[in-house]
Chain A
Amino acid sequence: MARAVTPRRKAVNTALAWAVGLILFFPILWTILTSFKTEAQAIADPPIFLFFDWTLENYAIVQERSDYMRFLWNSIIIAGCSTLLGVAIGVPAAWSMAFVPSKRTKDILLWMLSTKMLPAVGVLYPIYILFIQLGLLDSRVGLTVVIMLINLPIIIWMLYTYFKEIPGEILEAARMDGAGLREELIHVLTPMAIPGIASTVLLNVILAWNEAFWTLNLTAVDAAPLTAFIASYSSPEGLFFAKLSAASTMAIAPILILGWFSQKQLVRGLTFGAVK
């Protein structure tokens, strides 16, 4: 039987949740506010919170100096394609591990996850040389493949967790009705796992969007996404915090909006395996 929650406790929990939410959101809010300040206001001490002369000057400067749309388009292509490619590979992989496990399945899962523990810089040179040899340097194709490979362990793990929740008997029934492997995956398993797949896609789009090691090191002009756009406004010799904040706001805005609209889906997906 569910435990009764008193109105007082509910109010406390709500206040606590809001407080945690605001604390987590505050750096983003501060970045957005700073983007509307002058450089002098951005470094003012004590800091100015809301009462300043709001200006769009930083956005105008950033827009004039950088081709924002080119960076945005690259981010969309790289994040979108790497995620779709990852899911296309991840679904069959997770299916086989969830429904046709071998005695090595758990080892393979752990091994896949262990690749995430390798510092990226450790393989920078081999990957860079490979990219030169294959003519993939500063290309969206190359970056899409690399980011897909980086996120693939997470994709497979997430999908594996969701697939494990689906009773194997349903797939058996489909097989008895004459479904082949392809039909079983596309027409039976995938529709049932849509919430899980959707949250996997969302989380991996966010991860790919924010990836800032390979996107900075393997691009120059043509394939540079929004992470490179932000990096171009950071400087250890000169105070450009307001412009950097404007660039950051422009870079995170699309993913923030996507996250905002899909938050229910995201939360549901992320907690799916946690409440068995």
Chain B
Amino acid sequence: MSLRNALCATTALLTLAGAATAENLVIATVNNGDMIRMQGLTDDFTKQTGHKVEWVTLEENVLRQRVTTDITTKGGAFDIMTIGMYETPIWGANGWLVPLDDLSEDYKVDDILPAMRAGLSHEGTLYAAPFYGESSMVMYRTDLMEKAGMEMPAAPTWQFIRQAAAAMTDRDNDINGICLRGKAGWGEGGAFITVTANSFGARWFDEDWNAQFDQPQWKEALEFYTGMMAESGPPGYATNGFNENLSLFQQGKCGMWIDATVAASFVTNPNDSTVADSVGFALAPNSEGIEKKSNWLWAWALAIPAGTQKADAAKEFIEWATSQGYIELVAANEGWANVPPGARVSLYENPNYKDIPFAQKTLDSILAADPTDPTVDPVPYVGIQFVAIPEFAGIATEVSQEFSAAYAGQQSVDEALAKAQALTNDAMEAAGYR
């Protein structure tokens, strides 16, 4: 048999084999810019593997409910799910996810940022691959800061932030010195106040799972937050979440905004932001005398539910979507500013990416976050802006509702903390932790 014939036969066999094993993958995902971009590029994956992809895109909270129902009942509606750092270790421990411990060598699993790997693993086994990662940082108006005669340090303290916010506030011109989340919800205002409290030395639980809202650090954090927002925050901040603050910042109505690092690409996009050319970045603040900063750590990651019949094809997709090659594909099609950030070390070593103004601050923020050591005192849990136990979402939603009521002036900080203390201890007792 000639070499040519042999090649033809091999190609034909491979094509047939490929056709025989081509799968139709159903992927549940959230609606955000990076995920939508990936949907537009999946033809590349289909070309490479023959597998087709169907997307189920849902709003974050709807998606959470939907995939939780499916995975707990082993429904098998999805072959891949987009989940976060909160769910991954819990679901991995319950045996609901396929372990990602046999990814190919080409995938370079060691290139994933260590903080991301740790947050997406249970007992050292990776259960979800990060598609993109984020922390939180300060985004501020360089022109307003200059006008206020102040200079933002690379790593500011809360005390500096409060002072700068007051100096930048110009109520006559509808400029608020600082915009922060106050909206109820464990992933909205709940996440923000938790990291703020961490940076004042507060914690959710002591080592025996007793709630700690009766401790002075929580009171200090909450009084600082409400005081600063009363001085320099926008009216009605108790109902503001990520989107409301993004809107205010893009319209030039905030001097500073402390929020997710992914917002950096939105506020510097001249198509959407009126202040795109005057945005600076700094690390999330800490309180004077306390080292812990108020930055969180989060990743949207791809995981395979144990109920799927297409685990091999699903792994192929995850390897494609979270690889270095995918980052290069996005860069070639949409530019380096639009690649999914915060997942791989190699991205931050890439000279093309280093030119992006917020790249280094994003990396520094991610590196400054340690989910196993979130605050000053030791804690029995993993997680920075959340506590990685199944009961947390429900408890934290209720606690954040009490805090939002305090922000709105419907009750005092002391009343909110007392209610938070009681409801958290009750829930933990009912769940058998105490």
Contact flags B242-271 to A (C-beta < 8 A → 1, else 0): 110011001101000000101000100001
Per a CB cutoff under 8 Å, which of A132, A220, A228, A238 touches B266? A238
Which A residues touch B246, using CB under 8 A? Answer: 238-239
Report A-chain residues with C-beta under 8 Å of the C-beta of B250.
40, 43, 239
Query: Is B2 close to A, CB under 8 A?
Result: no
Instruction: List residues of B (61-86) whose CB comes within 8 Å of A's CBs.
Output: 61-62, 65-66, 69-70, 73-78
Known: A234-B59, A237-B32, A237-B262. A44 touches B251 (CB 8 A): yes
Segment at the interface with A among B23-31, B109-117, B214-222, B374-382:
B23-31
| B-chain residues with CB within 8 Å of residue A234 when the two chains form the complex | 31, 59, 62
With A132-B73, A236-B243, A237-B242: A217-B260 Cβ-Cβ less than 8 Å: no
* Interface-located stretch among B50-58, B333-341, B357-365, B421-429: B50-58
CB distance B188 to A236 under 8 Å? yes
Residues of chain B contacted by A25 (CB below 8 angstroms):
none
Q: Are B26 and A238 in contact (CB under 8 A)?
A: no
Whether the Cβ atoms of A231 and B58 lie closer than 8 Å is yes
Question: Which chain B residue shows the least CB distance to A230?
Answer: B59
- Of the candidates A129, A238, A240, the one having the most CB atoms from chain B within 10 angstroms of its own CB is A238
In the complex, are the beta carbons of B62 and A231 less than 8 A apart?
yes
Q: Which residues of B contact A231 (CB under 8 A)?
A: 57-59, 62
Residues on B with C-beta less than 8 A from A233 are 31
* Interface residue tally for chain B (C-beta within 8 Å): 44
A65 is contacted by which of B36, B54, B242, B260 (Cβ under 8 Å)?
Answer: B36
**Chain A residue nearest to B266 in the complex (CB):** A238
B272: chain A residues at CB < 8 Å are: 39-40, 239
Residue B163 interfacial (CB < 8 Å): no
Tell me if B65 and A235 are in contact (CB < 8 A).
no
Contact between A137 and B77 (Cβ–Cβ < 8 Å)?
yes
Interface flags for A196-231 (1: CB within 8 Å of B; 0: not) read 000000000000000000001100110010001001
Query: Is A260 an interface residue, CB under 8 A from the partner?
Result: no
| Closest A residue, CB atoms, query B60 | A236
- Chain A CB within 10 Å — which of B66, B266, B271 has the most? B66
A124 within 8 A of B: yes
Residues of A with C-beta under 8 A to B31: 232-235, 238, 240
Tell me how many residue pairs across A and B have CB atoms closer than 8 Å.
Answer: 98
Known contacts A40-B271, A220-B56, A238 near B32 by CB under 8 Å: yes
Q: B60 touches which one: A217, A228, A237 (CB < 8 A)?
A: A237
- The residue of chain A having its C-beta at the shortest distance from the C-beta of B274 within the complex is A40
The digit string for A239-261, where 1 denotes a CB below 8 A from any CB of B, is: 11000000000000000000000
Q: CB-nearest residue of chain B relative to A61?
A: B36
CB nearest to B56 among chain A residues: A220
Chain A residues with Cβ below 8 Å from B76 are 132, 137
User: In whole Å, how far is B193's beta carbon from the nearest beta carbon of chain A?
Assistant: 17
Complex contacts, A125 vs chain B, CB 8 Å: 69, 73
Number of interface residues of A (CB under 8 A): 30
Shortest distance from the beta carbon of B45 to any chain A beta carbon, whole Å: 17
One digit per residue, 1 when the CB lies within 8 angstroms of any chain B CB and 0 when it does not, for chain A 37-73 equals 0111001110000000000000000000100000000
Nearest CB on B from A131, distance (A): 8
> Out of A129, A228, A238, which one reaches B33, CB within 8 Å?
A238
Question: Taking the nearest CB of chain A, how far is it from the CB of B359, in angstroms?
Answer: 19
Binary flags per residue of B336-358, CB closer than 8 Å to A gives 1, else 0: 00000000000000000000000
Closest chain A residue, CB of each to CB of B271: A40
In the assembled complex, the Cα of A241 lies from the Cα of B33 at a distance in Å of: 13
- Is B241 interfacial (CB 8 A cutoff)? yes
Chain A residues 99 to 149 lying within 8 A of chain B, measured CB to CB, are 124-125, 128-129, 132, 137-138
Write out the residue numbers on chain B whose beta carbons fall within 8 Å of the beta carbon of A129. Answer: 73
Return chain B residues, CB-CB under 8 Å to A138: 77
Closest to A66 in B: B57
Q: How far is the CA of A64 from the CA of B260 in the complex (A)?
A: 29
Is B58 a contact of A238 with CB atoms below 8 Å?
no
Quote the shortest CB–CB distance from B185 to chain A (angstroms).
9
* Contact A43-B247, Cβ < 8 Å, known A217-B69, A235-B30: yes
Chain A positions within 8 Å of B274 at CB level: 40
- The answer, yes or no, to whether B39 is at the interface (CB within 8 Å) is yes
Per the bound structure, the CA–CA distance linking A232 and B28 in Å amounts to: 10
Residues of A within 8 Å of B260, CB to CB, are 237
Give the residue name and chain of the A residue nearest to B61 (CB): A236
B280-295 interface bits toward A, Cβ cutoff 8 Å, 1 = contact, 0 = none: 0000000000000000
Residue picked from A39, A233, A235, most chain B C-beta under 10 Å: A235
Scan B5-36; emit 1 where CB is below 8 A from any A CB, else 0: 00000000000000000000010101111001
Query: Is the beta-carbon distance between B32 and A217 smaller than 8 angstroms?
Result: no
Q: In the complex where A65-B39, A237-B262, A240-B31 touch, is A224 in contact with B61 (Cβ < 8 A)? A: no
Tell me if B58 and A216 are in contact (CB < 8 A): yes
Question: Are A239 and B243 closer than 8 Å at their CB atoms?
Answer: yes
Chain B hits for A137, CB < 8 A: 75-77
* Chain A residue with the shortest CB-CB distance to B270: A40
Encode contact with A along B201-228: 1 for CB under 8 Å, 0 otherwise. Answer: 0000000000000000000000000000
Shortest CB–CB separation between residue A170 and chain B, in angstroms?
A: 50
Contact present for B73 and A217 (CB under 8 Å): no
8 closest cross-chain pairs (CB), A and B: A232-B57, A234-B59, A235-B31, A43-B247, A220-B77, A221-B54, A220-B56, A238-B32
Known: A220-B26, A228-B58, A232-B31. 6 other contacts (CB 8 A): A132-B76, A220-B56, A236-B61, A238-B31, A238-B32, A239-B243
Q: Which residues of A contact B (CB under 8 A)?
A: 38-40, 43-45, 65, 124-125, 128-129, 132, 137-138, 216-217, 220-221, 224, 228, 231-240
Q: Can you name 19 A-B residue pairings with CB atoms under 8 Å?
A: A40-B272, A43-B250, A65-B39, A128-B70, A132-B75, A137-B75, A137-B76, A216-B66, A217-B69, A220-B78, A228-B58, A231-B57, A235-B243, A236-B241, A237-B262, A238-B32, A239-B243, A239-B266, A240-B31
